[in-house]
Structures are given as C-alpha cells and as structure tokens.
Amino acid sequence: MEAGRCKATAEINLLGVRHSFAGTPACQVQEAKEDTARRVLWYLQCPGYETLFEPDVQGVAAVAKEIPTPPSNWVTLSEDDESVQAAERKTAVMRLQNRLQQSFAKKLKPGQGVWEWSYETDARDESWPPLQRATVHVPVAQQSFTGPWKRGQREAQLEACQLLQTFLDSLERPEDTACGASR
C-alpha cells in the first residue's frame, strides 16, 4: 500500500536471472494484481498480450546512449573469474535485447517485438545436447544472423548474439563497416 493505493509486484526467475515487475497503483488489491499480471504476460510476449503496452521512448533506458554498468556488488557470487563469467553469460541475451530496444526505440511500432528466434537441430547428431544452430531475425533492421553449430540451444543462441552484437557495433561506427560481412 502506498498513499492508500495498492501496488502489486511479481518476481520471476527466468534462465537463472531474477526479473522484478510492478504494476501501477490501483484502488483495489485484485485490480493491482491483474495489472501486474498483464505486464508480465506482455513482457513474455504471450499471445493476446503483445500489444497491451508500448516502450516509453522518453524513458531513461530508451534514450540512454549506453546501458549503465552495474554496481560492483550487483551479483552475490564469489569474486572468482568463473562466477563473474557465468553471470555475464546468463545476462548476455537480456543485455543485448535491451541494447536493441534502445538502438531502434524510435523505429519500433507499439507492441512490435525487437527480434525473432529460430533454431535448427542436426538430425544426424545422436549426442546430448544435440548440435543446434540459432538464427535471430531483427525485423526493424531487416537483418538476420545465423550462428555456427553448437552443442545445445543456449550455446547456439549466444553465438548468434555475438554476430548481432558485431552488427550493432558497426552501426555505431559506420566508418568501420566491412562490406560483404557474413551475417
């Protein structure tokens, strides 16, 4: 309760990363819970909820040039290199999605997703996890990026993310863009 109004929050752990959601203040508890639930379903791009909200292009995150670096104590893991690398890998996809949303905030239509993922599995491979290749399509940039074959969907996704990261870097430094780069 804040100033006589209810505000519901939800915390969800997705792929090892905690996500916190908050709705807008409401007069009734049920109304506040429903608003927060709709926001979570929109964020997860559940069918029927994709167009409920749109990015606030005037918001701090949308107009920031760079994603701020987290404080030194943002992770409660030990300080060894493996723990830091594991945390970086867990948040790599989320950070790249945020960067895409910032880069194309003015070109995105309300409710439009920033990317679309597809995966191929090598049907001849009998090992586990199977060999997979990820492709990420960025409709607003009219670009697709297909990574190399990797063991497991997460590894394949991270490889495609690296290609997309390189593309975004080239947009920020147009004089460095290489012609005919493999995408």
pLDDT in tens, 65-109: 566 666 666 655 455 666 667 777 778 888 999 899 888 888 888
Pair of tokens at residue 27:
């007069």
- Where does residue 71 fall: left (phi above 0), alpha (psi -120 to 50 degrees), or beta otherwise? beta
Q: What is the pLDDT of residue 50?
A: 77
Q: What is the pLDDT of residue 75?
A: 57
pLDDT of 150 strictly over 90: yes
pLDDT in tens, 6-62: 989 998 888 778 888 888 889 999 999 998 998 888 888 888 887 776 655 555 555
User: Considering only CA atoms, which of 73, 114, 119 is closest in space to residue 95?
Assistant: 114
Q: What is the pLDDT of residue 180?
A: 45
Q: Are 147 and 163 in contact (CB under 8 A)?
A: yes
